Amino acid sequence: MNHLRALVIRQEEEALSLAKALTAKGVEPYLCPLFKPFFLPCPSLENPQGLIITSKNALRALEEREELKQLPLYVVGDQTAQFAKNRGFKTVFSSSGTSKELLFLILQKAARTNGTLWHLSGDVVRGDIVETLKTEGFQAQRHIIYHIKEVDDLPSSLISDIQQQKMSHVLFFSPRTTDVFINLLEKNGLEKMASSITSLCLSQNVVERARCLDWKKIWVSPRPTVQGMIGYFNEKQ
């Protein structure tokens, strides 16, 4: 297949900017979000010294909470940091892309005696940064402010394209998204078609989930960032 066509299964807001970057690389994007967020009310937070955010959806859920935008914000990744600044958060500290680096950043910047660090998140998170912070002597709590609902099936147009081997790549940004997509392939009897598709994975955790199918190739990004993923298309295909 000479024509490069990449399946983007991220949430629509992230998918649009990613599609633009792919197009600039000469890659045709096919957008098919597998999740939709549902936001929940965020209560008054007791004695907060800062917020921990590990997804843009959590920031979207706080859109109207101007008083929280005055608190120090700890986020994963520079894109999320810029997203937060664009929405009015005043003091934003960004790790370079992993939860381990985020923890190290918080340990360097936050104080054990200045109040509670609140992790505002979805119902599914990787790791437990709150429990780790508690073992380090911090006051920390987690509150769920959004849920994610999975789609029931793939669109018929995508099923047809996969059957006809019209998809050259699929981009996986999380273990959960990878699991959902693979389950939907199996639901439609398409798991053998993976052999015609290159799987691009954000991290080794994602690779572990992708390995349950026999892809044409599995590639892992050198850095867990969008730029790292897009960098794949700088290489000769």
Per-residue pLDDT tens digits for 127-144: 789 999 999 999 999 999
- Indicate if the pLDDT at residue 237 is higher than 60: no
Whole-number pLDDT of residue 64: 87
Residue 236 has pLDDT above 60, yes or no: no
Instruction: Say if CB 41 and CB 58 are below 8 A apart.
Output: no
Tell me the pLDDT tens digit for each residue of 85-99.
Answer: 999 999 999 987 677
Q: Domain residues of the chain, as ranges?
A: 5-34+151-234, 37-148
CATH number 3.20.20.70 is the correct assignment for the domain at 37-148 = no
User: What pLDDT was estimated at residue 222?
Assistant: 92
DSSP character string of 25-93: TT-EEEE---EEEEE-PPPPPSSEEEEEE-SHHHHHHTTT-GGGGGSEEEEESHHHHHHHHHTT-SEEE
pLDDT greater than 90 at residue 59: yes
Q: What average pLDDT does the chain have?
A: 92
Task: Kindly report the CATH number that applies to the domain delimited by 5-34+151-234.
Answer: 3.40.50.10090
5-34+151-234 and 37-148 have identical folds: yes
Q: Average pLDDT of 37-60?
A: 92
